[in-house]
A and B are shown apart, each in its own frame.
Chain A
């Protein structure tokens, strides 16, 4: 097992390369999921906002 991680003496280079690949991929997955969640939340709320504005405009017309 330790022989595997030693990578024939190239451990530093191998794990710096693979470690960064893993880190960037994990960060991108977290970021894109957060963005999707936020977009869905805002879509619901901006929609509600449009309705509120429309309701407000209607109210003014009546008055």
Chain B
């Protein structure tokens, strides 16, 4: 009984289930508002014309790709240091969505780069380091799939995630450290170089991407909890109580 009370997955499973729909709904509402602003309300950019509208998904995806990596590495490190199950599962749940955001940042960047710079791809610092981020995510996912014992996989993935975290500040600073093809940041505290409605559209899309990521990660986390703890007392209790047995 005491073991059940302090088992983190047992407590977090229902909480995650309650939270996910709210984050999903918030993401849907903000996503629609953000799309209307980004594709319709916001005026065209003087130099980039309509092609700049890709910014409204490119920037949120790129931010999420880096942010999710740091959060994943944080939970991975916590799992390494404290040997906690839930934090390892958090890290495991984040990786696929992080990989998706990275792929999306690269893809949307390519289709922004072509009309803006005349090329889909260049081996410049920003793009190359973002591509390395994608390989890190895919490497972590592949490493987990290659190791049968989940606790050993947690450790290996935690170490790889921690080593790779050095890449995140490199991505972030790349447009300042190197003379890249990629443009500098449009948004900086206090002196953003873009119009107010464009800024609002982008911030709304950032929150939409954020809430989407939280919702989908919470649902994946619930699945992972069941996958890894099937047969434990709390899962047995969960599957016995309420719903009919399959």
- Chains A and B belong together in one complex: yes
Q: Is the interface of A mostly helix, strand, loop or mixed?
A: helix
Query: A44-B246, A47-B231 known; A21 and B226 CB under 8 Å?
Result: no
Q: For the complex formed, measure the closest distance between the CB of B98 and the CB atoms of chain A, giving whole angstroms.
A: 11
Q: Please name all residues of chain B whose beta carbon is closer than 8 Å to the beta carbon of A40 when the two chains form the complex.
A: 223, 226, 239
Query: When the two chains form their complex, are residues A47 and B226 in contact, meaning their CB atoms are under 8 A apart?
Result: no
State in angstroms the CA–CA spacing of A43 and B223 once bound together. Answer: 10
* Least CB separation from B239: chain A residue: A44
Q: Please name all residues of chain A whose beta carbon is closer than 8 Å to the beta carbon of B108 when the two chains form the complex.
A: 17, 20-21
Q: Mark B109-124, 1 if CB is under 8 A from A, else 0.
A: 0011011000000000
Q: Please name all residues of chain B whose beta carbon is closer than 8 Å to the beta carbon of A13 when the two chains form the complex.
A: 51, 54, 111-112, 114-115
Q: What's the tally of chain A residues with a CB closer than 8 Å to chain B?
A: 32
State in angstroms the CA–CA spacing of A29 and B100 once bound together. Answer: 12
Q: Which B56-93 residues sit within 8 Å CB-CB of chain A?
A: 57-58, 61
Chain B interface residue number, banded:
35 or more
Contacting B227 at CB < 8 Å: which of A10, A32, A42? A42
Q: For the complex formed, measure the closest distance between the CB of B220 and the CB atoms of chain A, giving whole angstroms.
A: 5
Query: A41-B246, A43-B230, A45-B246 known; A8 and B49 CB under 8 Å?
Result: yes
Query: When the two chains form their complex, are residues B231 and A28 in contact, meaning their CB atoms are under 8 A apart?
Result: no
A50 at interface (Cβ–Cβ under 8 A)? yes
B216 at interface (Cβ–Cβ under 8 A)? yes
Query: When the two chains form their complex, are residues B230 and A17 in contact, meaning their CB atoms are under 8 A apart?
Result: no
State in angstroms the CA–CA spacing of A8 and B246 once bound together. Answer: 55
Q: Mark B97-139, 1 if CB is under 8 A from A, else 0.
A: 1001001100110011011000000000000000000000000
Q: Which of A20, A33, A40 has the largest number of chain B CB atoms within 10 A? A: A40
A55 at interface (Cβ–Cβ under 8 A)? no
Contacting A43 at CB < 8 Å: which of B103, B104, B114, B235? B235
Q: Please name all residues of chain B whose beta carbon is closer than 8 Å to the beta carbon of A36 when the two chains form the complex.
A: 219-220, 222-223
Q: For the complex formed, measure the closest distance between the CB of B21 and the CB atoms of chain A, giving whole angstroms.
A: 12
Query: When the two chains form their complex, are residues B44 and A4 in contact, meaning their CB atoms are under 8 A apart?
Result: no
Query: A8-B49, A35-B220, A35-B223 known; A28 and B97 CB under 8 Å?
Result: yes
State in angstroms the CA–CA spacing of A8 and B42 once bound together. Answer: 14
Query: When the two chains form their complex, are residues B50 and A7 in contact, meaning their CB atoms are under 8 A apart?
Result: yes
27 contacts between A and B (CB under 8 A): A4-B40, A7-B51, A7-B53, A8-B44, A8-B50, A9-B50, A13-B112, A17-B57, A17-B107, A18-B57, A20-B104, A20-B108, A21-B57, A21-B61, A24-B104, A29-B216, A32-B220, A36-B219, A38-B223, A39-B226, A39-B230, A40-B223, A42-B226, A43-B227, A46-B230, A47-B239, A47-B240
